[in-house]
Amino acid sequence: MSYGARDSGDYTLLPAPGETDGESSVDTAGGLMSATSAILSPHGAGAPAFTQVKANFELVAKYGDNVPLYLFSDMFLRVPALRELFPVHMSRQRERLMAALSFAVEHAHNLPEITPYLHQLARSHRKFGTEGEHYEQWSASVVNTMQRFSGNMWDEGLEEEWRDFLSLLTRTLSEGARQDASLRPAYWTAEVISHERRSVDVAVLRLLVDRPFKYVPGQSAPVEVRQWPNMWRYYSMANVPRRDNTVELHVKAAGAVSRTLVCDVREGEVVKLGAPVGTLTLNPNTGRNILLIAGGTGFAPIKAVLEHVTKLPVPPWVSVFTGARERGGLYDLDVLRDWEQKYPWLTVRAALSELEDQSVATTGTVGEAVSRYGRWEGYDAYVCGPPAMVDGTVAMLHANGFTDNRIRLERFAGAATPSRRFAI
Ligand SMILES: Cc1cc2nc3c(=O)[nH]c(=O)nc-3n(C[C@H](O)[C@H](O)[C@H](O)COP(=O)(O)OP(=O)(O)OC[C@H]3O[C@@H](n4cnc5c(N)ncnc54)[C@H](O)[C@@H]3O)c2cc1C
Ligand code: HEM
Protein backbone atom coordinates (compact mmCIF):
# COMPACT_ATOMS: atom_id res chain seq x y z
CA MET A 1 0.00 0.00 0.00
CA SER A 2 1.34 3.41 -0.92
CA TYR A 3 -0.13 6.64 0.29
CA GLY A 4 1.03 8.19 -2.98
CA ALA A 5 1.89 11.73 -1.88
CA ARG A 6 3.44 12.48 -5.22
CA ASP A 7 0.50 11.30 -7.23
CA SER A 8 -2.32 12.46 -5.04
CA GLY A 9 -2.15 16.06 -6.17
CA ASP A 10 -2.26 17.04 -2.52
CA TYR A 11 0.02 20.00 -2.86
CA THR A 12 -1.32 23.31 -1.78
CA LEU A 13 -1.52 26.24 -4.13
CA LEU A 14 1.26 28.72 -4.34
CA PRO A 15 0.49 32.42 -4.54
CA ALA A 16 0.95 34.12 -7.86
CA PRO A 17 4.47 34.48 -9.17
CA GLY A 18 5.72 37.99 -8.76
CA GLU A 19 3.97 38.51 -5.43
CA THR A 20 7.05 39.76 -3.71
CA ASP A 21 5.97 42.43 -1.25
CA GLY A 22 6.18 42.09 2.49
CA GLU A 23 2.88 40.24 2.63
CA SER A 24 3.97 37.66 0.13
CA SER A 25 3.78 34.01 1.02
CA VAL A 26 6.04 33.01 -1.83
CA ASP A 27 9.02 31.11 -0.57
CA THR A 28 11.91 32.89 -2.14
CA ALA A 29 15.20 31.06 -2.14
CA GLY A 30 16.86 33.46 0.22
CA GLY A 31 13.77 34.14 2.30
CA LEU A 32 11.68 31.71 4.25
CA MET A 33 13.82 28.74 3.34
CA SER A 34 17.04 30.13 4.61
CA ALA A 35 16.38 29.74 8.32
CA THR A 36 15.47 26.10 7.95
CA SER A 37 18.41 25.48 5.73
CA ALA A 38 20.55 26.68 8.60
CA ILE A 39 19.12 23.93 10.80
CA LEU A 40 19.27 21.23 8.15
CA SER A 41 22.32 20.97 6.02
CA PRO A 42 21.11 20.28 2.49
CA HIS A 43 22.16 17.41 0.23
CA GLY A 44 23.79 15.10 2.59
CA ALA A 45 26.78 16.83 4.16
CA GLY A 46 26.33 15.37 7.61
CA ALA A 47 22.53 15.16 7.27
CA PRO A 48 21.03 11.94 8.62
CA ALA A 49 19.81 9.50 5.97
CA PHE A 50 16.89 8.19 8.09
CA THR A 51 17.15 4.85 6.34
CA GLN A 52 15.47 2.97 9.21
CA VAL A 53 12.55 5.40 9.20
CA LYS A 54 12.07 4.96 5.46
CA ALA A 55 12.17 1.16 5.61
CA ASN A 56 9.89 1.07 8.65
CA PHE A 57 7.35 3.43 7.07
CA GLU A 58 7.21 1.28 3.95
CA LEU A 59 6.39 -1.80 6.03
CA VAL A 60 3.81 -0.05 8.21
CA ALA A 61 2.15 1.55 5.16
CA LYS A 62 1.01 -1.94 4.16
CA TYR A 63 -1.66 -1.67 6.87
CA GLY A 64 -3.34 1.07 4.82
CA ASP A 65 -6.09 3.16 6.40
CA ASN A 66 -5.66 1.33 9.74
CA VAL A 67 -2.50 3.36 10.27
CA PRO A 68 -4.03 6.87 10.24
CA LEU A 69 -7.11 5.48 12.02
CA TYR A 70 -4.88 4.36 14.87
CA LEU A 71 -2.85 7.58 14.77
CA PHE A 72 -5.91 9.84 15.10
CA SER A 73 -7.51 7.59 17.76
CA ASP A 74 -4.31 7.70 19.79
CA MET A 75 -4.07 11.48 19.47
CA PHE A 76 -7.73 12.14 20.31
CA LEU A 77 -7.64 9.78 23.31
CA ARG A 78 -4.53 11.40 24.71
CA VAL A 79 -5.57 15.00 23.89
CA PRO A 80 -9.36 15.11 23.39
CA ALA A 81 -9.34 18.89 22.77
CA LEU A 82 -7.55 18.30 19.47
CA ARG A 83 -10.63 16.59 18.00
CA GLU A 84 -12.35 19.97 17.74
CA LEU A 85 -9.72 21.25 15.34
CA PHE A 86 -10.63 18.65 12.71
CA PRO A 87 -13.71 18.30 10.50
CA VAL A 88 -16.58 15.97 11.38
CA HIS A 89 -15.72 13.61 8.52
CA MET A 90 -12.16 12.35 8.77
CA SER A 91 -11.70 9.99 5.80
CA ARG A 92 -10.30 12.63 3.45
CA GLN A 93 -8.24 13.95 6.34
CA ARG A 94 -6.62 10.58 6.96
CA GLU A 95 -5.76 10.21 3.31
CA ARG A 96 -4.15 13.66 3.06
CA LEU A 97 -2.24 13.39 6.28
CA MET A 98 -0.69 10.08 5.25
CA ALA A 99 0.08 11.39 1.78
CA ALA A 100 1.93 14.32 3.35
CA LEU A 101 3.75 12.12 5.86
CA SER A 102 4.71 9.68 3.12
CA PHE A 103 6.07 12.55 1.04
CA ALA A 104 8.10 13.86 3.99
CA VAL A 105 9.50 10.39 4.73
CA GLU A 106 10.47 10.01 1.08
CA HIS A 107 12.50 13.24 1.42
CA ALA A 108 13.69 12.58 4.97
CA HIS A 109 17.35 12.55 3.90
CA ASN A 110 16.98 16.06 2.48
CA LEU A 111 14.07 17.88 4.09
CA PRO A 112 15.26 21.33 2.93
CA GLU A 113 14.29 20.23 -0.56
CA ILE A 114 10.64 20.18 0.52
CA THR A 115 10.80 23.04 3.00
CA PRO A 116 8.72 25.31 0.72
CA TYR A 117 6.00 22.64 0.72
CA LEU A 118 6.17 22.21 4.50
CA HIS A 119 6.09 25.97 5.05
CA GLN A 120 3.07 26.28 2.80
CA LEU A 121 1.39 23.44 4.69
CA ALA A 122 2.10 25.15 8.01
CA ARG A 123 0.83 28.46 6.66
CA SER A 124 -2.40 26.87 5.53
CA HIS A 125 -2.73 25.18 8.95
CA ARG A 126 -2.67 28.49 10.83
CA LYS A 127 -6.31 29.06 9.93
CA PHE A 128 -7.20 25.67 11.45
CA GLY A 129 -5.78 26.89 14.78
CA THR A 130 -2.87 24.44 14.57
CA GLU A 131 0.05 25.45 16.78
CA GLY A 132 3.53 24.14 17.58
CA GLU A 133 2.42 22.03 20.55
CA HIS A 134 -0.23 20.34 18.36
CA TYR A 135 2.49 19.21 15.98
CA GLU A 136 4.36 17.77 18.96
CA GLN A 137 1.27 15.82 20.07
CA TRP A 138 0.88 14.61 16.51
CA SER A 139 4.53 13.48 16.49
CA ALA A 140 4.03 11.53 19.71
CA SER A 141 1.08 9.74 18.10
CA VAL A 142 3.14 8.97 14.99
CA VAL A 143 5.72 7.26 17.20
CA ASN A 144 3.00 5.31 19.08
CA THR A 145 1.45 4.28 15.77
CA MET A 146 4.68 3.15 14.16
CA GLN A 147 5.51 1.13 17.27
CA ARG A 148 2.04 -0.46 17.29
CA PHE A 149 2.34 -1.67 13.68
CA SER A 150 6.02 -2.67 13.83
CA GLY A 151 5.63 -5.52 16.32
CA ASN A 152 8.97 -6.93 17.44
CA MET A 153 10.86 -4.97 14.78
CA TRP A 154 10.57 -1.95 17.04
CA ASP A 155 13.66 -1.11 19.09
CA GLU A 156 15.29 1.86 20.74
CA GLY A 157 17.41 2.76 17.70
CA LEU A 158 14.39 2.87 15.41
CA GLU A 159 12.43 4.92 17.92
CA GLU A 160 15.25 7.41 18.25
CA GLU A 161 15.49 7.81 14.50
CA TRP A 162 11.74 8.43 14.23
CA ARG A 163 11.93 11.02 17.03
CA ASP A 164 14.83 12.83 15.33
CA PHE A 165 13.04 12.87 12.00
CA LEU A 166 9.74 14.08 13.49
CA SER A 167 11.56 16.72 15.47
CA LEU A 168 13.07 18.13 12.26
CA LEU A 169 9.73 17.91 10.50
CA THR A 170 7.76 19.66 13.22
CA ARG A 171 10.46 22.32 13.67
CA THR A 172 10.16 23.11 9.98
CA LEU A 173 6.37 23.27 10.22
CA SER A 174 6.47 25.45 13.33
CA GLU A 175 9.02 27.74 11.77
CA GLY A 176 6.87 28.16 8.63
CA ALA A 177 3.88 29.04 10.81
CA ARG A 178 5.91 31.46 12.92
CA GLN A 179 7.27 33.33 9.93
CA ASP A 180 3.82 33.61 8.40
CA ALA A 181 2.38 34.90 11.68
CA SER A 182 4.66 37.92 11.43
CA LEU A 183 3.21 38.73 7.99
CA ARG A 184 -0.54 38.18 8.19
CA PRO A 185 -3.42 37.02 10.37
CA ALA A 186 -4.29 33.32 10.52
CA TYR A 187 -7.58 34.21 8.84
CA TRP A 188 -9.83 37.16 8.08
CA THR A 189 -13.51 37.44 8.95
CA ALA A 190 -15.98 38.78 6.43
CA GLU A 191 -19.63 39.75 6.60
CA VAL A 192 -21.97 38.86 3.78
CA ILE A 193 -23.33 42.24 2.68
CA SER A 194 -25.30 41.01 -0.30
CA HIS A 195 -26.49 37.65 -1.52
CA GLU A 196 -28.07 37.28 -4.94
CA ARG A 197 -29.45 33.98 -6.10
CA ARG A 198 -28.77 34.10 -9.85
CA SER A 199 -30.15 30.65 -10.68
CA VAL A 200 -31.32 27.48 -8.95
CA ASP A 201 -27.76 26.58 -8.02
CA VAL A 202 -25.64 29.73 -8.39
CA ALA A 203 -25.34 32.69 -6.04
CA VAL A 204 -23.22 35.83 -6.16
CA LEU A 205 -22.14 37.00 -2.72
CA ARG A 206 -20.48 40.24 -1.73
CA LEU A 207 -18.39 40.12 1.43
CA LEU A 208 -16.99 42.94 3.53
CA VAL A 209 -13.63 41.76 4.86
CA ASP A 210 -12.72 42.99 8.34
CA ARG A 211 -9.31 44.35 7.31
CA PRO A 212 -7.20 44.82 4.19
CA PHE A 213 -7.18 41.64 2.15
CA LYS A 214 -4.36 41.67 -0.39
CA TYR A 215 -4.47 39.37 -3.37
CA VAL A 216 -3.73 39.34 -7.07
CA PRO A 217 -6.82 39.29 -9.35
CA GLY A 218 -7.51 35.68 -10.36
CA GLN A 219 -6.57 34.22 -6.97
CA SER A 220 -8.83 32.23 -4.64
CA ALA A 221 -9.19 32.02 -0.89
CA PRO A 222 -10.32 29.21 1.41
CA VAL A 223 -13.69 29.94 3.04
CA GLU A 224 -15.17 28.45 6.20
CA VAL A 225 -18.87 28.77 7.05
CA ARG A 226 -20.04 28.40 10.65
CA GLN A 227 -22.41 25.56 9.64
CA TRP A 228 -19.43 23.35 8.61
CA PRO A 229 -16.56 23.95 11.02
CA ASN A 230 -13.05 23.08 9.81
CA MET A 231 -14.25 22.35 6.25
CA TRP A 232 -12.52 25.00 4.19
CA ARG A 233 -13.32 25.29 0.50
CA TYR A 234 -11.66 27.55 -2.05
CA TYR A 235 -13.61 30.31 -3.84
CA SER A 236 -12.17 32.79 -6.29
CA MET A 237 -12.46 36.52 -5.82
CA ALA A 238 -14.36 37.86 -8.85
CA ASN A 239 -13.03 41.40 -8.61
CA VAL A 240 -9.76 43.26 -8.31
CA PRO A 241 -8.89 44.22 -4.71
CA ARG A 242 -10.94 47.23 -3.63
CA ARG A 243 -10.21 49.99 -1.17
CA ASP A 244 -13.45 49.23 0.68
CA ASN A 245 -12.29 45.62 1.32
CA THR A 246 -15.29 44.09 -0.43
CA VAL A 247 -14.95 40.92 -2.47
CA GLU A 248 -17.39 39.19 -4.77
CA LEU A 249 -17.72 35.39 -4.82
CA HIS A 250 -19.61 33.26 -7.35
CA VAL A 251 -20.70 29.96 -5.88
CA LYS A 252 -22.27 26.93 -7.51
CA ALA A 253 -24.07 24.54 -5.18
CA ALA A 254 -22.23 21.21 -5.50
CA GLY A 255 -21.88 19.79 -1.97
CA ALA A 256 -22.18 20.70 1.71
CA VAL A 257 -20.27 23.98 1.93
CA SER A 258 -21.26 25.41 -1.45
CA ARG A 259 -24.93 24.52 -0.91
CA THR A 260 -24.83 26.37 2.39
CA LEU A 261 -23.31 29.41 0.71
CA VAL A 262 -25.91 29.33 -2.08
CA CYS A 263 -29.05 28.30 -0.18
CA ASP A 264 -28.68 29.12 3.53
CA VAL A 265 -26.33 32.05 3.97
CA ARG A 266 -28.03 35.44 4.21
CA GLU A 267 -26.89 39.05 4.55
CA GLY A 268 -25.30 39.62 7.95
CA GLU A 269 -23.78 36.11 8.15
CA VAL A 270 -20.08 36.09 9.00
CA VAL A 271 -17.64 33.70 7.30
CA LYS A 272 -13.88 33.18 7.62
CA LEU A 273 -11.39 33.66 4.80
CA GLY A 274 -7.92 32.15 4.64
CA ALA A 275 -4.90 33.56 2.83
CA PRO A 276 -5.30 33.98 -0.93
CA VAL A 277 -3.54 31.55 -3.25
CA GLY A 278 -3.33 30.67 -6.93
CA THR A 279 -1.60 31.43 -10.18
CA LEU A 280 -4.43 32.18 -12.60
CA THR A 281 -3.27 35.78 -12.63
CA LEU A 282 -2.62 38.19 -15.45
CA ASN A 283 0.79 38.05 -17.05
CA PRO A 284 0.82 41.55 -18.54
CA ASN A 285 4.30 41.46 -20.01
CA THR A 286 4.01 38.94 -22.84
CA GLY A 287 2.90 41.48 -25.43
CA ARG A 288 0.24 39.02 -26.58
CA ASN A 289 -3.54 39.36 -26.69
CA ILE A 290 -5.72 37.55 -24.20
CA LEU A 291 -8.18 34.69 -24.49
CA LEU A 292 -10.26 34.17 -21.35
CA ILE A 293 -12.26 30.93 -21.12
CA ALA A 294 -14.67 30.14 -18.29
CA GLY A 295 -16.94 27.21 -17.46
CA GLY A 296 -19.77 27.90 -14.98
CA THR A 297 -18.56 29.70 -11.84
CA GLY A 298 -15.06 29.42 -13.30
CA PHE A 299 -16.09 32.83 -14.56
CA ALA A 300 -15.27 34.32 -11.11
CA PRO A 301 -11.45 34.53 -11.44
CA ILE A 302 -11.78 35.20 -15.18
CA LYS A 303 -13.90 38.25 -14.34
CA ALA A 304 -11.23 39.45 -11.90
CA VAL A 305 -8.52 39.03 -14.55
CA LEU A 306 -10.70 40.89 -17.05
CA GLU A 307 -11.20 43.72 -14.57
CA HIS A 308 -7.44 43.76 -14.10
CA VAL A 309 -7.05 44.24 -17.88
CA THR A 310 -9.43 47.23 -17.76
CA LYS A 311 -6.91 48.93 -15.44
CA LEU A 312 -4.00 48.57 -17.88
CA PRO A 313 -2.95 51.81 -19.61
CA VAL A 314 -3.05 50.11 -23.02
CA PRO A 315 -5.21 46.99 -22.88
CA PRO A 316 -4.56 44.24 -25.44
CA TRP A 317 -7.35 42.65 -27.48
CA VAL A 318 -9.37 40.39 -25.20
CA SER A 319 -11.80 37.59 -26.18
CA VAL A 320 -13.93 36.10 -23.45
CA PHE A 321 -15.68 32.75 -23.89
CA THR A 322 -18.08 31.83 -21.13
CA GLY A 323 -19.85 28.50 -21.15
CA ALA A 324 -22.36 26.52 -19.16
CA ARG A 325 -24.70 23.59 -19.55
CA GLU A 326 -27.88 25.66 -19.57
CA ARG A 327 -28.92 29.30 -19.40
CA GLY A 328 -28.83 29.56 -15.58
CA GLY A 329 -25.10 28.86 -15.71
CA LEU A 330 -24.49 32.09 -17.64
CA TYR A 331 -25.44 34.00 -14.53
CA ASP A 332 -23.27 37.10 -15.18
CA LEU A 333 -23.67 37.50 -18.92
CA ASP A 334 -25.41 40.88 -18.65
CA VAL A 335 -22.39 42.44 -16.93
CA LEU A 336 -20.12 41.01 -19.62
CA ARG A 337 -22.35 42.40 -22.37
CA ASP A 338 -22.22 45.85 -20.72
CA TRP A 339 -18.44 45.70 -20.59
CA GLU A 340 -18.36 44.62 -24.23
CA GLN A 341 -20.27 47.79 -25.12
CA LYS A 342 -17.94 49.89 -23.02
CA TYR A 343 -14.55 48.51 -24.10
CA PRO A 344 -13.72 48.43 -27.83
CA TRP A 345 -10.91 45.90 -27.26
CA LEU A 346 -13.29 43.30 -25.76
CA THR A 347 -15.32 40.56 -27.50
CA VAL A 348 -17.64 38.24 -25.59
CA ARG A 349 -19.06 34.89 -26.70
CA ALA A 350 -21.26 32.54 -24.75
CA ALA A 351 -21.80 28.81 -25.28
CA LEU A 352 -24.42 26.42 -23.93
CA SER A 353 -23.60 22.73 -24.12
CA GLU A 354 -26.97 21.18 -23.27
CA LEU A 355 -29.77 23.56 -24.18
CA GLU A 356 -29.97 25.60 -27.32
CA ASP A 357 -30.75 29.27 -26.89
CA GLN A 358 -29.47 30.95 -30.01
CA SER A 359 -30.56 34.35 -28.69
CA VAL A 360 -27.82 34.35 -26.04
CA ALA A 361 -25.31 31.66 -26.90
CA THR A 362 -23.91 29.29 -29.48
CA THR A 363 -24.43 25.57 -28.99
CA GLY A 364 -21.65 23.29 -27.80
CA THR A 365 -18.91 23.36 -25.24
CA VAL A 366 -16.95 26.49 -24.60
CA GLY A 367 -13.84 24.76 -25.98
CA GLU A 368 -15.65 24.02 -29.24
CA ALA A 369 -16.73 27.64 -29.45
CA VAL A 370 -13.14 28.84 -29.00
CA SER A 371 -11.98 26.48 -31.72
CA ARG A 372 -14.75 27.62 -34.06
CA TYR A 373 -14.33 31.35 -33.60
CA GLY A 374 -10.81 32.22 -34.40
CA ARG A 375 -7.18 31.78 -34.88
CA TRP A 376 -5.31 32.43 -31.70
CA GLU A 377 -1.64 32.65 -32.64
CA GLY A 378 -0.99 35.92 -30.89
CA TYR A 379 -2.90 35.07 -27.71
CA ASP A 380 -2.28 33.84 -24.18
CA ALA A 381 -5.09 31.70 -22.72
CA TYR A 382 -6.55 31.70 -19.22
CA VAL A 383 -8.90 28.82 -18.46
CA CYS A 384 -11.03 28.10 -15.40
CA GLY A 385 -13.90 25.80 -14.49
CA PRO A 386 -14.67 22.21 -13.47
CA PRO A 387 -11.79 19.76 -14.15
CA ALA A 388 -13.36 18.08 -17.21
CA MET A 389 -14.08 21.43 -18.85
CA VAL A 390 -10.54 22.69 -18.18
CA ASP A 391 -8.90 19.49 -19.40
CA GLY A 392 -11.02 19.39 -22.57
CA THR A 393 -10.30 23.04 -23.30
CA VAL A 394 -6.58 22.70 -22.71
CA ALA A 395 -6.45 19.69 -25.05
CA MET A 396 -8.20 21.82 -27.67
CA LEU A 397 -5.72 24.68 -27.09
CA HIS A 398 -2.79 22.31 -27.51
CA ALA A 399 -4.32 21.06 -30.75
CA ASN A 400 -4.50 24.70 -31.85
CA GLY A 401 -0.81 25.24 -31.27
CA PHE A 402 -0.79 26.63 -27.73
CA THR A 403 2.24 25.69 -25.68
CA ASP A 404 1.96 25.36 -21.89
CA ASN A 405 3.78 28.64 -21.29
CA ARG A 406 0.87 30.41 -23.03
CA ILE A 407 -1.81 28.82 -20.83
CA ARG A 408 -2.74 29.58 -17.24
CA LEU A 409 -5.45 27.50 -15.66
CA GLU A 410 -7.37 26.71 -12.50
CA ARG A 411 -9.39 23.54 -11.97
CA PHE A 412 -12.25 23.73 -9.52
CA ALA A 413 -11.29 20.40 -7.99
CA GLY A 414 -13.41 19.32 -5.08
CA ALA A 415 -10.69 19.24 -2.45
CA ALA A 416 -9.57 21.69 0.18
CA THR A 417 -6.16 21.35 -1.40
CA PRO A 418 -6.57 22.35 -4.97
CA SER A 419 -4.46 21.32 -7.88
CA ARG A 420 -0.92 20.03 -7.77
CA ARG A 421 0.83 23.32 -8.16
CA PHE A 422 3.62 23.19 -5.79
CA ALA A 423 6.92 23.46 -7.55
CA ILE A 424 9.72 22.09 -5.47
C1 LIG B 1 -8.60 27.00 -6.40
C2 LIG B 1 -10.07 26.72 -6.38
C3 LIG B 1 -10.96 27.77 -6.58
C4 LIG B 1 -12.33 27.52 -6.58
N5 LIG B 1 -13.19 28.57 -6.81
C6 LIG B 1 -14.52 28.31 -6.86
C7 LIG B 1 -15.44 29.39 -7.16
O8 LIG B 1 -15.07 30.55 -7.35
N9 LIG B 1 -16.76 29.07 -7.23
C10 LIG B 1 -17.22 27.79 -7.03
O11 LIG B 1 -18.45 27.58 -7.11
N12 LIG B 1 -16.38 26.76 -6.72
C13 LIG B 1 -15.05 27.00 -6.63
N14 LIG B 1 -14.19 25.97 -6.32
C15 LIG B 1 -14.74 24.66 -5.90
C16 LIG B 1 -15.01 24.72 -4.36
O17 LIG B 1 -13.78 24.91 -3.67
C18 LIG B 1 -15.63 23.44 -3.79
O19 LIG B 1 -14.87 22.34 -4.21
C20 LIG B 1 -17.06 23.26 -4.21
O21 LIG B 1 -17.83 24.38 -3.81
C22 LIG B 1 -17.65 21.97 -3.59
O23 LIG B 1 -17.44 22.00 -2.19
P24 LIG B 1 -18.56 21.40 -1.22
O25 LIG B 1 -18.08 21.34 0.17
O26 LIG B 1 -19.84 22.15 -1.43
O27 LIG B 1 -18.78 19.94 -1.77
P28 LIG B 1 -17.82 18.69 -1.66
O29 LIG B 1 -18.53 17.71 -0.83
O30 LIG B 1 -16.44 19.07 -1.29
O31 LIG B 1 -17.81 18.27 -3.20
C32 LIG B 1 -18.98 17.84 -3.88
C33 LIG B 1 -18.67 17.53 -5.34
O34 LIG B 1 -18.75 18.73 -6.15
C35 LIG B 1 -17.74 18.74 -7.14
N36 LIG B 1 -17.52 20.15 -7.53
C37 LIG B 1 -16.70 21.04 -6.95
N38 LIG B 1 -16.79 22.25 -7.55
C39 LIG B 1 -17.70 22.15 -8.54
C40 LIG B 1 -18.24 23.04 -9.49
N41 LIG B 1 -17.85 24.32 -9.56
N42 LIG B 1 -19.17 22.56 -10.33
C43 LIG B 1 -19.59 21.27 -10.27
N44 LIG B 1 -19.12 20.37 -9.38
C45 LIG B 1 -18.18 20.79 -8.53
C46 LIG B 1 -16.60 18.09 -6.41
O47 LIG B 1 -15.65 17.57 -7.32
C48 LIG B 1 -17.29 16.98 -5.60
O49 LIG B 1 -17.44 15.83 -6.38
C50 LIG B 1 -12.82 26.20 -6.34
C51 LIG B 1 -11.92 25.16 -6.12
C52 LIG B 1 -10.58 25.41 -6.15
C53 LIG B 1 -9.64 24.28 -5.93
C1 HEM C 1 -2.54 18.26 15.30
C2 HEM C 1 -2.12 18.93 14.27
C3 HEM C 1 -2.97 19.14 13.03
C4 HEM C 1 -4.24 19.65 12.92
C5 HEM C 1 -5.12 20.18 14.04
C6 HEM C 1 -4.59 19.59 11.52
C7 HEM C 1 -5.82 20.02 11.01
C8 HEM C 1 -6.17 20.01 9.69
C9 HEM C 1 -7.43 20.47 9.14
C10 HEM C 1 -8.59 21.06 9.94
C11 HEM C 1 -7.38 20.32 7.81
C12 HEM C 1 -8.47 20.72 6.77
C13 HEM C 1 -9.50 19.69 6.57
C14 HEM C 1 -10.54 20.04 5.50
O15 HEM C 1 -10.62 21.19 5.05
O16 HEM C 1 -11.31 19.15 5.11
C17 HEM C 1 -6.08 19.74 7.50
C18 HEM C 1 -5.66 19.44 6.24
C19 HEM C 1 -4.45 18.87 5.95
N20 HEM C 1 -3.49 18.47 6.84
FE21 HEM C 1 -3.50 18.78 8.82
N22 HEM C 1 -3.57 19.04 10.83
C23 HEM C 1 -2.55 18.76 11.70
C24 HEM C 1 -1.31 18.21 11.41
C25 HEM C 1 -0.89 17.90 10.16
C26 HEM C 1 0.43 17.41 9.83
C27 HEM C 1 1.56 17.19 10.84
C28 HEM C 1 0.45 17.22 8.49
C29 HEM C 1 1.58 16.73 7.61
C30 HEM C 1 2.52 15.93 7.97
C31 HEM C 1 -0.86 17.58 7.97
C32 HEM C 1 -1.24 17.50 6.66
C33 HEM C 1 -2.42 17.97 6.15
C34 HEM C 1 -2.71 18.04 4.75
C35 HEM C 1 -1.79 17.61 3.61
C36 HEM C 1 -3.98 18.61 4.63
C37 HEM C 1 -4.70 18.97 3.34
C38 HEM C 1 -4.03 20.24 2.82
C39 HEM C 1 -4.45 21.55 3.42
O40 HEM C 1 -5.64 21.74 3.69
O41 HEM C 1 -3.60 22.44 3.57
N42 HEM C 1 -1.64 17.98 9.02
N43 HEM C 1 -5.37 19.57 8.67
pLDDT of the residue at 48 = 86
- Mutual orientation of helices 132-150 and 51-60 as an angle, nearest 10°? 70
Question: Is 177 in the same domain as 205?
Answer: no
State how far the Cα of 240 lies from the Cα of 234, in Å rounded to an integer: 17
- Does residue 108 lie within any of the structural domains? yes
Distance 329 CA to ligand 2 centre (A): 33
Question: Is 159 in the same domain as 220?
Answer: no
Cβ-Cβ contacts under 8 Å for 91 (sequence gap 6 or more):
none
Of 127, 153, 181, which one is at a domain's C-terminal end? 181
Distance 424 CA to ligand 1 centre (A): 26
Question: Is 85 in the same domain as 158?
Answer: yes
Question: Is 174 in the same domain as 79?
Answer: yes
- Does residue 158 lie within any of the structural domains? yes
Tell me if 303 CB under 6 Å of ligand 1. no
The distance of Cα 227 from the centroid of its chain, to the nearest Å, equals 21
Tell me if 325 CB under 6 Å of ligand 1. no
The pTM score is 0.85
Asked if the model's pLDDT at residue 19 lies above 80, the reply is: no
- Does residue 50 lie within any of the structural domains? yes
Question: In the sheet that 362-363 helps form, which strands lie side by side, from edge to edge?
Answer: 362-363, 346-352, 318-324, 289-295, 379-385, 407-411
Average pLDDT over residues 30-56: 58
Nearest CA-CA partner of 234 in 298, 293, 186: 298
Question: Is 164 in the same domain as 192?
Answer: no
pLDDT of the residue at 3 = 58
Parallel, antiparallel or unpaired: strands 220-224 and 233-236: antiparallel
Question: Is 241 in the same domain as 310?
Answer: no
Cβ-Cβ contacts under 8 Å for 152 (sequence gap 6 or more):
none
Ligand 2 atom at shortest distance from the alpha carbon of 129: 5
Which residue among 73, 77, 96 has the greatest number of ligand 2 atoms within 8 angstroms of its CB, and so is best to mutate?
96
- Does residue 150 lie within any of the structural domains? yes
Ligand 1 atom at shortest distance from the alpha carbon of 259: 26
Question: Is 73 in the same domain as 203?
Answer: no
Q: Distances in Å between the alpha carbon of 270 and those of 110, 153, 188, 190, 204? A: 43, 52, 10, 6, 15
Question: 355: domain CATH number?
Answer: 3.40.50.80
What's the count of helices (H) and strands (E) in the chain, helices before strands?
12, 12
Distance 247 CA to ligand 1 centre (A): 18
State how far the Cα of 237 lies from the Cα of 246, in Å rounded to an integer: 10
The count of domains in the chain is 3
Q: Note the pLDDT tens digit of each residue in 191-202.
A: 999 999 999 999
- Does residue 10 lie within any of the structural domains? no
Name which of 77-91, 200-214, 328-342, 401-415 the model is least confident about: 401-415
pLDDT of the residue at 363 = 86
Question: 221: domain CATH number?
Answer: 2.40.30.10
Q: Note the pLDDT tens digit of each residue in 160-174.
A: 999 999 999 999 999
Tell me if 128 CB under 6 Å of ligand 2. yes
285: burial class by Cβ within 10 Å (0-12, 13-18, 19+)? exposed
Ligand 1 atom at shortest distance from the alpha carbon of 418: 53
Provide the domain limits for residue 388.
289-412
